[in-house]
Amino acid sequence: MKHRFNLRNWLLLAGLLALPLLATGVFGQEAAAPADPSAYSDEAFMASDGYAVFTVNNLWICIAAALVFIMHLGFATVESGLSQSKNTVNILFKNVWIITTGILLYAFWGFYSMYPPGDNYVLVSGVFARGGWLGSAIDMMDPAKVTAEYNAGYTVWGDFLFQAMFAATAATIVSGAVAERVKLTSFMVFSVLLVGFAYPVTGYWKWGGGWLADRGFYDFAGSSVVHAFGGFAALACVLILGPRRGKYTKDGIKPIVGHSMPLATIGVLILWLGWFGFNGGSALSADPKAVSYSLVTTSLAAAAGAIGSIFTSWIVIKKPDLSMALNGILAGLVGITAGADTVSEGSAVLIGIIAGALVVGSILFFDKIKIDDPVGAISVHGICGMWGTIAVGIFSFNSEHSLFTQILGTVAISLFAFVFSYVVFFALKAIMGVRVSEEEEAGGLDVAEHGAPAYHIS
Amino acid sequence: MKHRFNLRNWLLLAGLLALPLLATGVFGQEAAAPADPSAYSDEAFMASDGYAVFTVNNLWICIAAALVFIMHLGFATVESGLSQSKNTVNILFKNVWIITTGILLYAFWGFYSMYPPGDNYVLVSGVFARGGWLGSAIDMMDPAKVTAEYNAGYTVWGDFLFQAMFAATAATIVSGAVAERVKLTSFMVFSVLLVGFAYPVTGYWKWGGGWLADRGFYDFAGSSVVHAFGGFAALACVLILGPRRGKYTKDGIKPIVGHSMPLATIGVLILWLGWFGFNGGSALSADPKAVSYSLVTTSLAAAAGAIGSIFTSWIVIKKPDLSMALNGILAGLVGITAGADTVSEGSAVLIGIIAGALVVGSILFFDKIKIDDPVGAISVHGICGMWGTIAVGIFSFNSEHSLFTQILGTVAISLFAFVFSYVVFFALKAIMGVRVSEEEEAGGLDVAEHGAPAYHIS
Amino acid sequence: MKHRFNLRNWLLLAGLLALPLLATGVFGQEAAAPADPSAYSDEAFMASDGYAVFTVNNLWICIAAALVFIMHLGFATVESGLSQSKNTVNILFKNVWIITTGILLYAFWGFYSMYPPGDNYVLVSGVFARGGWLGSAIDMMDPAKVTAEYNAGYTVWGDFLFQAMFAATAATIVSGAVAERVKLTSFMVFSVLLVGFAYPVTGYWKWGGGWLADRGFYDFAGSSVVHAFGGFAALACVLILGPRRGKYTKDGIKPIVGHSMPLATIGVLILWLGWFGFNGGSALSADPKAVSYSLVTTSLAAAAGAIGSIFTSWIVIKKPDLSMALNGILAGLVGITAGADTVSEGSAVLIGIIAGALVVGSILFFDKIKIDDPVGAISVHGICGMWGTIAVGIFSFNSEHSLFTQILGTVAISLFAFVFSYVVFFALKAIMGVRVSEEEEAGGLDVAEHGAPAYHIS
């Protein structure tokens, strides 16, 4: 247990966390104007015709947020299941860190940086907005924030909740790719910066009404905004970090198999469940057509992804591989995410099958060029996220969706994620190091970083 | 790892999968008339009084579908938890195969075979309908498909989604019973035929408005249509397959215990959660009375099932057995499924207690007559499915529910499942074999069929 | 396997279970007046303006009940994950027992004891009401029970379902604290008495409109009514039971680490998911403002709890401890439960951070004074439950919430739970013993009490 409390690192981290608080004067503001929800009471609205529809819409956004939340359990279990048992506590800890700091950072900065609540938040129009504490926008006292005047589908809090659960996903994707050799504190700092500050930037480009939205780029639920973003951030980190020791030897690639396939399967099926909220909630209301149609294409693509992956891997690696089948499900889900509401059921099947085949090829390819991604995150989220975004340009009903714009959008978002991550992770490498020592890697991060193994089965 | 890619088997499978596609001309149809959901836009409906109720109804069906979906994680974990660790990957793979092919087959054939969208689909009135690709029925372009004109409770897609999740359940039940010795490819072909083609037949008999519906047979959420169907399909397969080696010796029955009780418990509690959708969604709307009442009887029966099972097993096998308690919960759930909306709360408790006692007796009985069912699936789903269906004839409020018809219906459905499965599985045995070799069984199916064990805990 | 069927104990238990049945004449009543739900049909209500809102409200209560239900899987996994593998079956069995008997007892007695359906149920006004079988209150035949006349937010069955899922939670909390040395049968009897008879008493004080409600005590979703109640019941039992052997030696405290951190993490994240229903459902309707606001404060406090706990434990025990991070999440959730709808978002963060720090200090403190609580239940639920209740007196928007009353209420509830549990558990110790033998404890309760270990990984 060589790892100790490192004052320098923690001051750094504390500073990062404190910055947005200071910047937005959260505590001062709060004292002055506590956001009393009872101030929003609007009895006239409750009695109005629109109240029932608004209530069911908002309820669905809240339930969808819960479903996206539980995806973090899915990520935690799929990542730990596909890694070695000696690094399990470390992976679980990172996932707990990401979902908890993710929500807080989104409240302290990200939400308003991604969805500027007023022109005074916009620093470079269409490109960059500053954030701020959730409670700081004065017009939150406006009754309209909890009625259909804010949005037909949700209150300001339903909005925040749903988007906050999405935000943390990006860093979780990275977590899987860097597993088994990343230094804990460095990853903690990196994930804070990625979720808190980088994700809202590209999010603003599209969903916040920035330049990609203006160009007609389409990404229904985030094949690019969330998944390709996370996947290419992961690629940057993995390039700096290097492969796990002993993976690529002169005798060839030595597979490092996961330690628990039940955990991995639990993870993938929970992720699929979560995608009911991820895609279904992205209808941004409970509209019967929009929600049910999106869920059908989502389910078809997930199923087709598994089939595409099972058959491809059976042909290529000559066995029915469970981890490939699982990654195929995720590939199908990531692939349909950009266009779930705008492609036909048949196209959804096709998108899923291609994603499932693609993920197998991609995982084998990255392994061949010695880019070591223990859980296949770069392939699942990066490559299939790009594929799904481009697929909208091919299969969409909507003739305004252009293949060129789809390519432009996914490349822009992926590039930003890659460059940001490369620069930040490179800086962290220089400042505090990003990789555990050889001994710690061999002994496992659980004991090295946390002083406790994950299992004691007697 | 003796198992190899077997061209003959896969051509067979591919052909089966391709048949319905060819039959219904899915890709041609699609090109001609893509089912653009925006074509269904009906602003008048959105502004109408009924829109809010329809929206909440459809939302509930979609959420219920998500809950039924997650039952597949429940089945995957309860089956693997109650089996040996050396067969875990195999069980998980089968479950992934079933839910993914299940959804696709239901889209390509099953949905319309079970619920014919027009008279031209009906081949033998009340007995058999042909299926077809989900997008193939021309009248899907009708705006009515997404309004209350299609159904008061859901759009056509909500309908499909909910029913597709049900369909895959039948084959999953079989998966548990044949675990630890079935040949993977044979099971894959069998499950495709069972889910894709057999399940919709008896489903049509009752829920599609066929001859059992005409006779007044009642099965609220599928004690017979889903559970007894799956249970008796499992019985047929187990009879052909034979018991696991070493289970029944001349020195008596040698118990083969499950490898992870936490996995089994996770599975059963997730199944219970899923039953909130399975039974609650079977109200086919969010009607306050229908949904909340069904959920109360469901919960009471599940709880009573556990108690019935705990006490029965404690008396009979002289210890408080966790796996029996878990099967008792499932027994209670299966038992109440046929009549959740039509028996009193007190009757629900009674139905559950009896189911819980019955499942213990049934498991011990099948073991005694050397029918080897590793997870008790025949008892839980087959026997308690029959019991639940018959219980409607005894306890229902509705005087039109007749004991005779209930017996007739459950026997008809179970018999069809049994005969179909017996014939198909027997044919598969002749064509490609249904059982792994002695060495493969001893070494475990994970390594034999998939080339990888489930656990690497160092 | 020394444990045998013990007639005396079981007659005792059977008697306890039978008492409320006899008292309320459930079966007689039922025969006389089966609660046919179709009798409640109210077409006029369905056609009325209020029907849509009532439907979505009731649906949310039912879904929230499902979410609270799955918390029992969360408790089962977090408790078993944080305990030794040799006691896993025992912990899982206890959790199955609690949720199943909990629902039944609440139907047979607790619901009406907590929420008296008429003055004839009240024995001491504001302090104690008798219970009765769910179906026994004649006015359940009243159509008003399934319309907004019963409650704006739910039918009588939605009400029962949601509250029943809460009731079982109290005993589950105790289960974790007494793990690894409690005698199974004694715990079974104790949990029946605690859930069935004690929990509804203090529940009546506040939520049933008793003396604490009259005094203006506020507890939104049960920081005191559920969590402090369970935590202080646990404290009483642990004081009588004593620590696990080998924990406190003359050489100091010997940590007994949990056997599976993935199980523990699964448990905590499922509990967080469940809290979406626990707190969100406590709005008692789907009101957009109330639900979404409560879910935001809940999420912020949970996240802040983890951060508070991670940093505190890192400073104090010099490592980033996963089990402390997990307990921090739970601490934040318990802490915000009393005031989720009545404190600002900033206060929610503060309440969570403090709860997270508090739980670390509390766990270390109880360990220091040799009160052995394997999973930290007393700290998480008891101490943070008190903290959350008191926090309402500090941070609430509502000036009518008084710090004094909040302290009075949480002390009253905790004291009742403590005294009741102390007396009952002490009596059980005298009658049947509450602790397993030294050999059984050393060998593990799984084999000793259940005759089967939890794991067979070959």
In angstroms, what separates the C-alpha of B187 from chain C's closest C-alpha?
Answer: 25
For residue C298, the chain A residue with the least C-alpha distance is A161
Using CB atoms, which residue from A295, A303, A320 is nearest to B93? A320
Q: Which residues, including other chains, have CB under 8 Å from residue C142's CB and lie 6 or more apart?
A: none
DSSP result, A332-344: HHHHHTTTTTTS-
Least confident of B404-408, C3-7, C262-266: C3-7
Residue C135 confidence (pLDDT): 83
Give the torsion through C-alpha atoms of A147, A149, A153, A154, to 10 deg.
Answer: -40
Q: What does the alpha-carbon distance between residue C351 and residue C335 come to, in Å, rounded to a whole number? A: 6
Please report, as a single letter, which amino acid is at residue C164: A
Q: What does the alpha-carbon distance between residue B403 and residue B396 come to, in Å, rounded to a whole number? A: 10
Q: Give yes or no for residue C40 having a pLDDT over 60.
A: no
pLDDT band, residue A2 (cuts 50/70/90): very low
Convert the pLDDT of each residue in A132-142 to its tens digit: 999 886 455 56
Tokens of B37: 């959901």
Rg of chain B (C-alpha set): 22
Coil vs helix vs strand at C452? coil
In a domain, B241, yes or no: yes
- Return the residue matching tokens 């009754």: A143
Kindly list the residues from chain A whose CB atom is less than 8 angstroms away from the CB atom of residue C288.
54-55, 58-59, 146-147, 154-155, 158
Residue B251, classified by CB atoms within 10 Å of its CB into exposed (0-12), middle (13-18) or buried (19+), is: exposed
Number of alpha carbons in the 13 Å side-chain half-sphere of residue B416 = 22
In a domain, A121, yes or no: yes
Q: How far is CA C247 from the centre of its chain?
A: 27
Convert the pLDDT of each residue in A286-320 to its tens digit: 999 999 999 999 999 999 999 999 999 999 999 99
Q: Which of C328, C124, B425 is nearest to A93 (CA)?
A: C328
Mean pLDDT (whole number) for C119-147: 82
Q: What count of CB pairs under 8 Å joins A to C?
A: 197
- Mutant choice from A296, A318, A323, A397 vs B, greatest count of B C-beta within 10 A: A296
Domain that holds residue A307: 52-450
Convert the pLDDT of each residue in A381-433 to its tens digit: 999 999 999 999 999 999 999 999 999 999 999 999 999 999 999 999 999 99
**Residue A141 belongs to domain with CATH number:** 1.10.3430.10
Tokens of B22: 């060819």
Exposure b/e, C79-99, CB count within 10 A at least 16 = b: bbbbbbbbbbbbbbbbbbbbb
Convert the pLDDT of each residue in C375-429 to its tens digit: 999 999 999 999 999 999 999 999 999 999 999 999 999 999 999 999 999 999 9
Q: What does the alpha-carbon distance between residue B372 and residue B238 come to, in Å, rounded to a whole number? A: 7
Mean pLDDT (whole number) for B331-360: 97
In a domain, A356, yes or no: yes
Residue A140 confidence (pLDDT): 55
Q: Terminus-to-terminus CA distance in chain B, angstroms?
A: 23
Residues written for chain B: 458
Kindly list the residues from chain A whose CB atom is less than 8 angstroms away from the CB atom of residue C289.
37, 40-41, 146, 155, 157
Q: What does the alpha-carbon distance between residue C364 and residue B49 come to, in Å, rounded to a whole number? A: 59
Residue B39 confidence (pLDDT): 52
Residues facing C248 on adjacent strands:
C253
For residue A315, the chain B residue with the least C-alpha distance is B5
Convert the pLDDT of each residue in A218-248 to its tens digit: 999 999 999 999 999 999 999 999 999 999 9
Q: What does the alpha-carbon distance between residue A414 and residue A410 come to, in Å, rounded to a whole number? A: 6
Strand-strand pairing, B128-129 and B248-249 = unpaired
Kindly list the residues from chain C whose CB atom is less than 8 angstroms away from the CB atom of residue B300.
103-104, 107
Q: Which of A184, A188, A179, A182 is nearest to A83 (CA)?
A: A179
For residue A340, the chain B residue with the least C-alpha distance is B37
In angstroms, what separates the C-alpha of C256 from chain A's closest C-alpha?
Answer: 10
Residue B432, classified by CB atoms within 10 Å of its CB into exposed (0-12), middle (13-18) or buried (19+), is: middle
Q: C303–A100: do the CB atoms touch at under 8 Å?
A: yes
Contact between C191 and C174 under an 8 Å Cβ cutoff? The reply is: yes
C261-to-C273, C307, C311 alpha-carbon distances in Å: 18, 19, 19
Using CB atoms, which residue from A59, A303, A344 is nearest to B34? A344
Mean pLDDT (whole number) for B171-194: 96
Q: B104–A320: do the CB atoms touch at under 8 Å?
A: no
A255-to-A83, A358, B452 alpha-carbon distances in Å: 11, 20, 11
Q: Which residues, including other chains, have CB under 8 Å from residue B184's CB and lie 6 or more apart?
A: A320, B3, B90, B93, B94, B445, B449, B450
Q: Give yes or no for residue B249 having a pLDDT over 80.
A: yes
Using CB atoms, which residue from A59, A100, A451 is nearest to C319? A451
- Return the residue matching tokens 């073991």: B367
Exposure b/e, C289-308, CB count within 10 A at least 16 = b: bbbbbbbbbbbbbbbbbbbb
Convert the pLDDT of each residue in A344-381 to its tens digit: 999 999 999 999 999 999 999 999 999 999 999 999 99
Q: Which residues, including other chains, have CB under 8 Å from residue C234's CB and lie 6 or more apart?
A: C173, C174, C176, C177, C178, C373, C377, C378, C381, C382, C421
Exposure b/e, B184-193, CB count within 10 A at least 16 = b: bbbbbbbbbb
DSSP result, A206-248: HTTS-HHHHTT---SS-IIIIIIHHHHHHHHHHHHH-PPTTTE
Contact between C106 and C121 under an 8 Å Cβ cutoff? The reply is: no
In a domain, B42, yes or no: no
Tokens of B182: 């079935």
Kindly list the residues from chain A whose CB atom is less than 8 angstroms away from the CB atom of residue B35.
344-345
Instruction: Say if pTM beats, i.e. exceeds, 0.80.
Output: yes
Q: Which residues, including other chains, have CB under 8 Å from residue C43's CB and lie 6 or more apart?
A: none
Which chains touch C (3+ CB pairs under 8 A)? A, B
Q: Give yes or no for residue C13 having a pLDDT over 70.
A: no
Residue C86 confidence (pLDDT): 95
Phi, psi of C79 (to 5 degrees): -65, -45
Please report, as a single letter, which amino acid is at residue C84: Q
Tokens of A396: 């969409």
Using CB atoms, which residue from C30, C36, C59 is nearest to B60? C59
Q: A93–C315: do the CB atoms touch at under 8 Å?
A: no
Contact between B161 and B64 under an 8 Å Cβ cutoff? The reply is: no
Q: How many CB atoms lie within 10 A of CB B400?
A: 8
Q: Terminus-to-terminus CA distance in chain A, angstroms?
A: 23
Using CB atoms, which residue from C157, C457, C458 is nearest to B296? C157
Taking each continuous run of H as one helix and of E as one strand, the counts in chain B are 20, 4
For residue B51, the chain C residue with the least C-alpha distance is C52
Kindly list the residues from chain B whose CB atom is less than 8 angstroms away from the CB atom of residue A398.
38
In a domain, C132, yes or no: yes
Residues facing A253 on adjacent strands:
A248
Contact between A381 and A191 under an 8 Å Cβ cutoff? The reply is: no
Q: C456–B258: do the CB atoms touch at under 8 Å?
A: yes
Coil vs helix vs strand at B455? strand
Q: Give yes or no for residue B381 having a pLDDT over 70.
A: yes
In a domain, C5, yes or no: no
Task: Say what percent of chain B tops pLDDT 70.
Answer: 89
Rg of chain A (C-alpha set): 22
Phi, psi of B44 (to 5 degrees): -60, -40
In a domain, C173, yes or no: yes
Which chains touch A (3+ CB pairs under 8 A)? B, C
Q: What does the alpha-carbon distance between residue A318 and residue C34 come to, in Å, rounded to a whole number? A: 61
A417-to-A104, A237, A442 alpha-carbon distances in Å: 21, 11, 30
Contact between C166 and C74 under an 8 Å Cβ cutoff? The reply is: no
Q: What does the alpha-carbon distance between residue B349 and residue C293 come to, in Å, rounded to a whole number? A: 38
Q: C58–B85: do the CB atoms touch at under 8 Å?
A: no
Q: C273–A51: do the CB atoms touch at under 8 Å?
A: no
Mean pLDDT (whole number) for A70-98: 97
Domain count, chain B: 1
Convert the pLDDT of each residue in B185-243 to its tens digit: 999 999 999 999 999 999 999 999 999 999 999 999 999 999 999 999 999 999 999 99
Q: Give yes or no for residue A84 having a pLDDT over 50.
A: yes
- Mutant choice from C4, C51, C55 vs B, greatest count of B C-beta within 10 A: C55
Residue B48 confidence (pLDDT): 76
Positive or negative: CA dihedral C409, C414, C420, C422 = negative
Tokens of A285: 């209301």
Coil vs helix vs strand at C129? strand
- Mutant choice from B51, B60, B269 vs C, greatest count of C C-beta within 10 A: B269
Coil vs helix vs strand at C88? helix
Strand-strand pairing, C128-129 and C122-124 = antiparallel
Q: How far is CA C220 from the centre of its chain?
A: 14
Contact between C374 and C422 under an 8 Å Cβ cutoff? The reply is: no
In angstroms, what separates the C-alpha of C358 from chain B's closest C-alpha?
Answer: 30
Name the strand (E) or helix (H) holding B189: helix B184-193
Strand-strand pairing, C248-249 and C252-253 = antiparallel
Kindly list the residues from chain B whose CB atom is less than 8 angstroms away from the CB atom of residue A84.
456, 458
pLDDT band, residue A45 (cuts 50/70/90): confident
Q: B92–A295: do the CB atoms touch at under 8 Å?
A: no
Which DSSP category does C320 fall into?
-
Q: Which of B57, B159, B173, B65 is nearest to B111 (CA)?
A: B159
In a domain, A456, yes or no: no
For residue B260, the chain C residue with the least C-alpha distance is C455
Q: C318–A88: do the CB atoms touch at under 8 Å?
A: no
Tokens of A182: 């990343």
Task: Say what percent of chain C tops pLDDT 70.
Answer: 89
Q: What does the alpha-carbon distance between residue B448 and residue B87 come to, in Å, rounded to a whole number? A: 9
Kindly list the residues from chain B whose CB atom is less than 8 angstroms away from the CB atom of residue C58.
286, 288, 291-292
Please report, as a single letter, which amino acid is at residue A366: F
Q: B329–C100: do the CB atoms touch at under 8 Å?
A: yes
pLDDT: which is higher, A255 or A322: A322
Q: A276–B69: do the CB atoms touch at under 8 Å?
A: yes
Q: What does the alpha-carbon distance between residue C432 and residue C3 come to, in Å, rounded to a whole number? A: 13
Residues facing B249 on adjacent strands:
B252
